[in-house]
Amino acid sequence: MPKKNVSRRLLATGVTWAAALALAATGAVPAQAAPERPSPGPDARVAAALRSMSLQEKVGQLFFQNVYGSDATTPDARNIPLYGVASPAGVVQKYHLGGVIYFAWTDSVKNPPQITGLSNGLQKAAIGSGAHVPLMIATDQEQGVVTRIGPPATQFPGSMALGAGRSTTDARAAAAITGQELKAMGINTDFAPDADVNVNALNPVIGTRSFSSDPALVSSMVAAQVNGYQKDAGIIATPKHFPGHGDTATDSHTGIPIITHSKAQWEQIDAPPFKAAIRAGADMIMSGHLVVPALDPSGDPATLSKPILTGILRGELGYKGVIITDSLAMQGVRDKYGDAEVAVRAVLAGVDSLLMTPTMDASYNAVVAAVTSGRISEKRLNESVSRILILKLRKGILSHPYTNATRLDSVVGTPAHLATATAITDRTTTLVKNDKATLPMAVGSKKILVTGYGAATTTTLADALTRRGATVTRTTSGAAPTGAAIADAVAKTAGQDAVIVTTMKAWDTAATDKLGGQQKLVAALLATGKPVVVVAVRDPYDIAYLPGVSTYLATYSYSPVAIESAVRVIVGEVAPTGKLPVDIPVAGDPATALFPFGFGLTW
């Protein structure tokens, strides 16, 4: 019998949960496994699992942590201050973790073979631990500006770009391809899609991570992507950030956002995408560290709010799946209570899975102590562990915890996937302004200056133009250009036929463009009298802060696939068909649209 099928067969024949999973790690099959009997249902199997697990093992299933290191068994000193052990496998085994999340900064996602090896190594450690329960392994592969795994994995331009394309078929295909490639690398959970409705153009943390400012469009896209991840790719989707992070000017990484929507406004704006996700069967929903007085006047963020998570998400919306927190290392959830108390209060509020607590020993022990004292009832603990185990059982994580490294080349970044990504992206680029009919531009005999945000972004743009016969001069001015950088770019316009300048959140002079340098750069380039094409490579809102611009493209992403599509539009190989998925408001007047939702030019 193949090793990966052992636990499923054994559970079907009545072998205990712990024994079955322990044997799955070795491939051994006991003599009593031979008789075939009807398989017990999920509830019976989960009940058997709960009976076999200690309190510490159950509590461990609630925790979803980052671990440092590119393979499971090599010690990494960065783990010791957090966990008291050095290897990623040691962390998993010490706490009987329910899940692990991958980041570039933890060295988890260097390349597909490495990721696959790490995933299989961590699963072996989990199956070999006291709980014998395989892991949910996750990352934030939203695509666009939140992309953890780069090429050769297939890249897409992200949610707002898909919103500009308006195609739920494209949205589902993007999720399906992303999910299939993650699954091939042993990642069975994606913390996506973003279900926030970005009605605030000054939102510093969501922006293009949202599909749109229109609740109906967001809802249709979220449902499509849940289906793409779950039905087409077979992994866990995680719509976020409940109850909705789209109308805030505060980043919950650094503070506590307060959402001032009334209950009626919340029902109209924020709730529809989550309702759509639930109707689509979302396996998991992520809470946001958001204070919403209309939903809970206590001042607690939603992650710690029983009225919001248990009362509204489970009660009013009828959600029965797993609720996971956003990172508990974020400041938005740490301001009122200590980290150990946060973990306990989150469970009491209705959370099932605790993501990235920064104080593992204290938080883990606090939850154990809360159950021991009765503050968290055993019934409440078992509810969460049951939901987690049922999800793992239903998604095949328990019966097929490992992935086959030999399949990587046939799944990850295949020509078919890359061609689909290109075609989808070509349908998202949005031409917002073309007053002087500068586009399309025949570039074959032209000298073009490429400047603005992003060394990689401007290089991709310049290389694509060069391949089409243009003579390109490139200079990078960064996200906050200095006076010297602006002067250098202006000097380089001499002898050029046209200028293409990239902007990235040029509106955000409080954070990204601290001195307004991007705005000054564009103004200085316009003053040269050269034809200037502005390409906004993140938020489409920049044009409201760039008076005098006559040619403006929105790509919603600085990923190479988006920049390549923008070049195809610039040179006329592709006609722009994207439509704004948000209003672009007049600077300083959020109630007045400079360019309305649905606007977009073509030729």
> Do the Cβ atoms of 4 and 402 come closer than 8 Å?
yes
- Which tokens belong to 337? 């209570």
Spatial separation of the C-alpha atoms in residues 238 and 226, rounded to whole Å: 8
Q: Which amino acid is at 445?
A: S
Active-site annotation holds for 326: yes
Among 71, 232, 251, 253, the active-site one is 253
Cβ contacts of 291-298, under 8 Å, gap ≥ 24: 291/256, 291/257, 291/258, 291/259, 292/243, 292/258, 292/259, 292/261, 292/266, 293/258, 293/260, 294/260, 294/261, 294/262, 294/263, 294/265, 294/266, 295/243, 295/263, 295/266
DSSP 532: E
Rg of the chain on CA atoms, in Å: 25
For residue 581, how many other CB atoms are within 10 A of its CB? Answer: 31
Please count the helices (runs of H) and the strands (runs of E) in the chain: 22, 16
How far is the CA of 266 from the CAs of 223, 292, 564, 579, in angstroms? 19, 9, 38, 26
Residue 366 burial (C-beta neighbours within 10 Å; 0-12, 13-18, 19+): buried
Spatial separation of the C-alpha atoms in residues 561 and 456, rounded to whole Å: 12
**Considering only CA atoms, which of 253, 282, 314 is closest in space to residue 194?**
282
In the block, tokens 């019934």 appear at 379
Among 170, 247, 326, 426, the active-site one is 326
Q: Which residues are catalytic?
A: 253, 326
